[in-house]
């Protein structure tokens, strides 16, 4: 293959933009797995659920997918809080979260996926919005709006989350709940309530990530599975509980994946994130910005 | 019961099962029975790591597919040589060794960390191995590979009867291994890891080493279950061989049956496997997967110790009377102080 500078620059830029979107998908996992220590492997399934909701509303009412997702966030929050309550009552309270909790989330992932298949079939679905067609051209650099818009909104979302986590009382309590529950109780805060809120927030981000996903690519129910490895690779690489670390790791993986698919072919791209995951686990389990 | 006596009982039961299947006089019985037997092996293998050690493996499909694809690779390699066709037991040995090595490697990379990392890594392993197979044209790539199966096997009969018999023997072997482990020092080592790894380590249990033994045995058994699969299906395709249903079934079956004893995966696989065979024929294959998912979630919430646990509570007996000397998990104190 002839090495092309244009191709390289374009691959890097689209990798960074895609990385911004990956950060939105991973933000929820960084909160649930990184901070709360709840191994929510069903997170990508909720992202796909968000995609389908954006699709239905877009197809029926013609509403903008991102707007739909923001409107739907409270509903996802309630869903997340409900799931945490079940998880807490059935597993955490009995101290069985390691084996059965994992199996529970795996079952939830499976049920969501099969239900979507039964209801919508395995056809690819897509949405329509004004910013999906056009592309900016700067000389040889192309920036497609359909990737840039999700990237920008995603960075705004993560900035907002970071502000909430570091500046508000609830946010600080969320950061504290992972470290010392007893100390939190002494501050007259109920750790279970804080965890419920945090898990609700983590699922609420899936609504927005789902809208981004269906803007960027057509979606069918099993697409979510490809994101499981990727999302956890990013989360581990980013240092588990650090949102800035998540953004950096997401962009890094986005760029490497984009380079791989440009120069070796798209069929190799899924192996990249796993390679990163194994490498991180073997060399530096604390991640890039880990404590 | 001593192991030779146990083996004898197993062989008698296996003989009865085989005779009954032959007496049914319908090839469908063999095709359906093969799948159920395959799930007995897969769920028993999963339970050696998942149930005894408490480490969740989401990559059953990966290990299974490695076994199946090593058969395809050997088949293609040997196509022109004198040894063609290779006998099935040899192929199963190859599949078992390759899968066992992969299990060992996975374990070595991730088992030094918290358990969740192992689970996530196995999930990603399936994706990566699938990528490799899709890009590997020698074994068919994304188009899939055809395997011609012989019509008859000397002394036994049609090929599907032979496959059924081989899988029946593998199931007996898997159950015997699981039972042996359960009653050995190794089994107690596994149980200490499941209950409290830190305390086990502090008491001098070589945790990493015995965890590696568990991943290797478990992976090898899954590979051996996968090795005859190309001959069963005739046309092997990455999409279906790496399917999520292997993963969800091999987790659901032990958890529904009960994870603390070899009986659990057996009960779970027979019940769930037969139920799925019936549901696939009468309803549809997507609905039957939904049933499995719902049963899995329902059981882990309502009956954490599976059917075995339910039986215990029903008879109000001590767990020790029923399943050997193994302790059945009771409600541990909550993690919140």
Q: What is the pLDDT of residues A78-129, one digit of tens each?
A: 999 999 999 998 888 877 667 888 889 988 988 998 899 889 888 898 888 8
A77 domain residue, yes or no: yes
Asked if residue B282 is part of any domain, the answer here is no
Cα gap A47→A27, rounded to integer Å: 12
User: Residues A9-53: pLDDT tens digits?
Assistant: 888 998 999 999 999 999 999 999 888 888 898 999 999 999 999
Distance from CA of B231 to the nearest CA of A (A): 27
Which pLDDT band holds residue B318 (cuts at 50, 70, 90)?
low
Contact A277 B120 (CB under 8 A): yes
The residue-averaged pLDDT of B246-274 equals 90
- Distance from B319 to chain A by nearest Cα, in Å? 19
* Contacts A–B by Cβ distance under 8 A: 148
Least confident of A87-101, B89-103, B306-320: B306-320
Cβ-based contacts of B286 with chain A (< 8 Å): 114, 117-118
Nearest to A270 among B127, B244, B332 (CB): B127
Query: How many CB atoms neighbour CB B110 within 10 A?
Result: 26
Average per-residue pLDDT for chain A: 87
**pLDDT in the model for residue A127:** 86
- Residue A250 falls within a domain, yes or no? no
Place of tokens 């791989």: A260
CA–CA dist B31, A164 (Å, integer): 58
Mind telling me how many Å the CA of B80 is from chain A's nearest CA? 31
Contact A210, A53 (CB under 8 A): yes
**DSSP code at position B110:** H
Residue B290 with chain A: CB contacts under 8 Å: 111, 114-115, 118
**CA–CA separation, A37 and A92 (whole Å):** 11
* Domain-embedded: residue A236: no
Q: Domain tally for chain B? A: 1
What is the spatial distance between Cα B125 and Cα B257, in angstroms, rounded to a whole number? 27
In angstroms, the CA A120 to CA B297 distance is 23
pLDDT category of residue A230 using cuts at 50, 70 and 90: confident
Q: Say yes or no: B287 contacts chain A, CB-CB below 8 A.
A: yes
Terminal CA-CA length for chain B: 43
Position B89 confidence tier, pLDDT thresholds 50, 70, 90: confident
**Strand, helix or coil at B6?**
helix
Selected for mutation to probe chain B from A32, A95, A107 (highest B CB count within 10 Å) is A107
- Which residues of chain B does A279 touch, with a Cβ-Cβ cutoff of 8 Å? none
In a domain, B318, yes or no: no
For B11, the token pair is 């062989």
Please give the residue range of the domain that contains residue A111: 20-225
Cβ contact B300–A110 (<8 Å): no
For residue B16, what are the CA distances in angstroms to B12, B13, B265?
6, 5, 21
B146 φ/ψ angles, rounded to the nearest 5 degrees = -100, 140
Residue of A nearest to B142 (CA): A267
| Phi/psi of residue A4, nearest 5 degrees | -125, 125
Query: Closest chain A residue to B284 measured between Cα atoms?
Result: A118
Interface of A with B in 75-94 (CB under 8 A): 86, 90-94
Nearest to A229 among B123, B247, B248 (CB): B123
Report yes or no: A270 at the B interface, CB cutoff 8 Å. yes
Angle at B39 between CA B27 and CA A40, to 5 degrees: 140
What is the mean pLDDT of the segment spanning A209-224? Answer: 90
Which pLDDT belongs to residue A196? 94
Give the integer Cα–Cα distance in Å for A72 and A64: 12
Residues in chain B within 8 Å Cβ distance of A278: 109-110, 121, 124
Q: Are the CB atoms for B124 and A257 separated by under 8 Å?
A: no
Indicate whether A266 belongs to any domain. Answer: no
**Which helix or strand (DSSP H or E) is residue B87 part of?**
none
Percent above pLDDT 70 for chain A: 96
pLDDT at B330: 47
Task: Cite the beta strand spans of B56-165 per DSSP E.
Answer: 145-146, 152-153, 157-158
pTM, rounded to two decimals: 0.85
**What's the distance, Cα to Cα, between the start and end of chain A in Å?**
42
Lowest mean pLDDT segment, chosen from A185-194, A210-219, A260-269: A260-269
Q: What pLDDT score does B329 carry?
A: 47
CB proximity B109 to A under 8 Å: yes
Tell me whether B154 touches chain A (CB under 8 Å).
no
Question: Cα–Cα distance between B257 and B191 in angstroms, integer?
Answer: 18
Q: How far is A140 from chain B (nearest CA, A)?
A: 31
User: Could you tell me what percent of chain B has a pLDDT over 70?
Assistant: 92
Please name the helix (run of DSSP H) or strand (run of DSSP E) that holds residue B112, with its range, or none.
none
The Cβ-side half-sphere exposure at A143, using a 13 Å CA radius, reads 13
Contact state of B293 with A114 under an 8 Å Cβ cutoff = yes
Kindly indicate the confidence band of residue B325, based on its pLDDT and cuts at 50, 70 and 90. Answer: very low
**Taking the CB of residue B27, how many other CB atoms lie within 10 A of it?**
13
The answer to whether residue B293 is domain-embedded is no
Q: What is the pLDDT of residue B237?
A: 86
- CA A219 to chain centroid, in Å, comes to 15
Does B204 lie at the interface with A, CB-CB under 8 angstroms? no
Asked if the structure places residue B264 within a domain, the reply is no
Distance from CA of B256 to the nearest CA of A (A): 11
Q: Which domain holds residue B79?
A: 3-242
Instruction: Read off the pLDDT of each residue in A57-64 and give the average, rounded to a whole number.
Output: 90
A82 located within any domain = yes
Contact present, A145 and A77 (Cβ < 8 Å): no
Q: Which pLDDT band holds residue A168 (cuts at 50, 70, 90)?
A: very high
Dihedral of CA A65/A70/A71/A75: which sign?
A: positive
User: Is it the case that residue B28 has pLDDT exceeding 80?
Assistant: yes
> Which of B121, B292, B334 has its CB closest to that of A277?
B121
Our count of domains for chain A comes to 1
Contact A33 B54 (CB under 8 A): no
* Residue pair A39/A105 in contact by the 8 Å Cβ criterion: yes
* Contact in structure between B247 and B58 (CB atoms under 8 Å): yes
Domain annotation covers residue B337: no
| Within a domain: B37 | yes
CB < 8 Å to A274, chain B:
124-125, 127-128
Residues above pLDDT 90, as percent of chain A: 41
Q: What is the per-residue pLDDT for B336? A: 41
**What is the predicted pLDDT for the residue at A22?**
94
Beta strands in B202-306 (DSSP E): 235-236
pLDDT of residue A237: 86
C-alpha pair distances (Å), A63 with each of A47, A118, A265, B316: 19, 25, 35, 59
How far away is chain B from the Cα of A165, in angstroms, using its nearest Cα? 22
Q: What does the pLDDT look like over B261-312, one tens digit per residue? A: 899 999 999 999 998 888 888 887 778 888 888 999 998 888 888 888 888 8
For residue A2, name the pLDDT band (cuts at 50, 70, 90).
low
Q: How far is A184 from chain B (nearest CA, A)?
A: 11
Mean pLDDT of the region B169-174: 93
Residue with tokens 């037969």: B274
A33 and chain B in contact, CB less than 8 A: yes
With CB atoms and an 8 Å threshold, state whether A107 touches B331: no
Both tokens of A83, joined, read: 């799931």
**Length, in residues, of chain B:** 337
Burial B197-222 (b: 16+ CB within 10 A, else e): beebeeeebebeebbbbbbbbbbbbb
Per DSSP, the residues of chain A read ----HHHHHHHHHHHHHHHHHHHHHHHHHIIIIIIT----TTHHHHHHHHHHHHHHHHHHH---HHHHHHHHHHHHHHHHHHHHHHHIIIIITTT-IIIIIHHHHHHHHHHHHHHHHHHH-S--B----TTSS-EEEETTEEEEHHHHHHHHHHHHHHHHHHHHHHHSHHHHHHHHHTT-HHHHHHTT--HHHHHHHHHHHHHHHHHHHHHHHHHHS-B-TTHHHHHHHHHHHHHHHTTSS-HHHHHHHHHHHHHHHHHHHHHT-GGGTHHHHHHHHHHHHHH-TT-TT--
Do A80 and A195 meet the contact criterion of CB atoms below 8 Å apart? no
How is residue B81 annotated by DSSP?
A: S
- CB contacts, 8 Å: A281 with chain B: 109-110, 113, 117, 121
pLDDT at B334: 43
Chain A, window 107-136: residues with a beta carbon less than 8 angstroms from a chain B beta carbon: 107-108, 110-111, 113-115, 117-118
User: Is residue B39's pLDDT more than 80?
Assistant: yes
pLDDT band for position A3 (cuts 50, 70, 90): low
**CB-based contact A72:A210 (threshold 8 Å):** no
What are the chain A neighbours of B109 within 8 Å (beta carbons)? 278, 281-282
Of the candidate ranges A51-65, A131-145, B272-286, B308-322, the one whose mean pLDDT is the lowest: B308-322
Q: Give the total residue count for chain A.
A: 291
Average per-residue pLDDT for chain B:
84
Domain assignment present for B147? yes
Pairwise CB contact (< 8 Å): A274 & B116 = no
- B139 pLDDT band, cuts 50/70/90, is confident
Specify whether the CB–CB gap between B236 and B140 falls below 8 A. Answer: yes
Mark yes or no for CB contact B294/A93 under 8 Å: no
Q: What is the reported pLDDT for A288?
A: 67
Asked if A181's CB is within 8 angstroms of B124's CB, the reply is no
Q: Is the dihedral of CA B291, B292, B294, B298 positive or negative?
A: positive
Q: Give the mean model confidence (pLDDT) for residues B13-31.
A: 86
Q: What was the ipTM of the complex prediction?
A: 0.83
């Amino acid at each position: 293959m002839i090495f092309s500078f244009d191709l390289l620059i374009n691959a890097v830029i689209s990798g960074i933009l895609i990385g911004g979107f990956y950060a939105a998908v991973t933000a929820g996992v960084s909160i649930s797995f990184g901070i709360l220590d709840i191994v929510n492997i069903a997170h990508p399934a909720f992202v796909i659920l968000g995609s389908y909701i954006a699709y239905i509303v877009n197809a029926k009412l013609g509403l903008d997918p991102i707007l739909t997702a923001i409107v739907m966030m409270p509903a996802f929050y309630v869903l997340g809080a409900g799931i945490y309550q079940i998880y807490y009552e059935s597993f955490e309270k009995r101290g069985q979260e390691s084996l059965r909790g994992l199996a529970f989330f795996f079952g939830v992932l499976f049920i969501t996926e099969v239900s979507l298949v039964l209801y919508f079939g395995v056809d690819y679905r897509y949405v329509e919005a004004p910013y999906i067609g056009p592309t900016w051209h700067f000389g040889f650099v192309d920036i497609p709006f359909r990737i840039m818009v999700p990237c920008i909104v995603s960075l705004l979302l993560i900035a907002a989350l970071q502000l909430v986590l570091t500046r508000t009382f609830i946010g600080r309590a969320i950061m504290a709940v992972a470290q010392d529950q007893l100390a939190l109780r002494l501050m007259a805060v109920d750790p279970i309530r804080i965890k419920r809120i945090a898990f609700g927030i983590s699922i609420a981000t899936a609504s927005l990530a789902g809208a981004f996903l269906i803007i960027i690519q057509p979606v069918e129910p099993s697409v979510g599975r490809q994101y499981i490895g990727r999302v956890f690779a990013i989360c581990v690489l980013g240092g588990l509980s650090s949102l800035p670390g998540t953004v950096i790791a997401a962009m890094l993986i986005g760029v490497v994946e984009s380079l791989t698919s440009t120069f070796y072919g798209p069929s190799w791209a899924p192996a990249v994130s796993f390679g990163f995951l194994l490498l991180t686990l073997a060399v530096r389990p604390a991640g890039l910005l880990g404590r | 019961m001593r192991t030779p006596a146990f083996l004898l009982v197993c062989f008698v039961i296996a003989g009865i099962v085989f005779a009954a299947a032959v007496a049914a006089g319908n090839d469908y019985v063999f095709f359906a029975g093969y799948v159920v037997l395959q799930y007995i092996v897969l769920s028993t293998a999963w339970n050696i790591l998942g149930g005894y050690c408490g480490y969740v493996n989401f990559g059953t499909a990966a290990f299974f597919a490695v076994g199946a694809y090593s058969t395809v690779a050997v088949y293609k390699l040997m196509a022109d040589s004198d040894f063609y066709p290779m006998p099935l037991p040899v192929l199963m040995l190859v599949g078992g060794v390759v899968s066992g090595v992969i299990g060992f490697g996975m374990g070595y990379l991730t088992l030094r960390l918290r358990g969740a990392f192992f689970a996530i890594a196995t999930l990603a392993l399936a994706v990566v191995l699938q990528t490799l197979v899709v890009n590997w044209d020698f074994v068919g790539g994304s188009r899939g590979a055809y395997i011609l199966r012989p019509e008859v096997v000397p002394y036994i009969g049609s090929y599907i009867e032979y496959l059924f018999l081989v899988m029946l023997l593998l199931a007996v072997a898997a159950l015997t291994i699981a039972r042996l482990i359960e009653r050995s020092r190794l089994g107690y080592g596994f149980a200490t890891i499941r209950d409290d790894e830190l305390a086990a380590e502090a008491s001098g249990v070589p945790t990493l080493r015995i965890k590696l033994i568990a991943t290797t045995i478990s992976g090898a058994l899954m590979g051996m279950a996968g090795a005859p699969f190309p001959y069963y299906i005739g046309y092997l395709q990455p999409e279906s061989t790496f399917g999520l249903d292997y993963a969800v079934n091999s987790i659901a079956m032990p958890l529904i049956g009960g994870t603390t004893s070899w009986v659990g995966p057996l009960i779970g696989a027979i019940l769930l496997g037969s139920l799925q065979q019936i549901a696939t024929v009468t309803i549809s294959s997507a609905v039957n997967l939904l049933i499995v998912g719902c049963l899995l979630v329902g059981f882990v919430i309502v009956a954490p110790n599976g059917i075995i646990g339910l039986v215990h509570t029903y008879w109000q007996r001590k767990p020790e009377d029923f399943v050997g000397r193994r302790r059945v998990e009771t409600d541990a104190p909550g993690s919140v102080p």
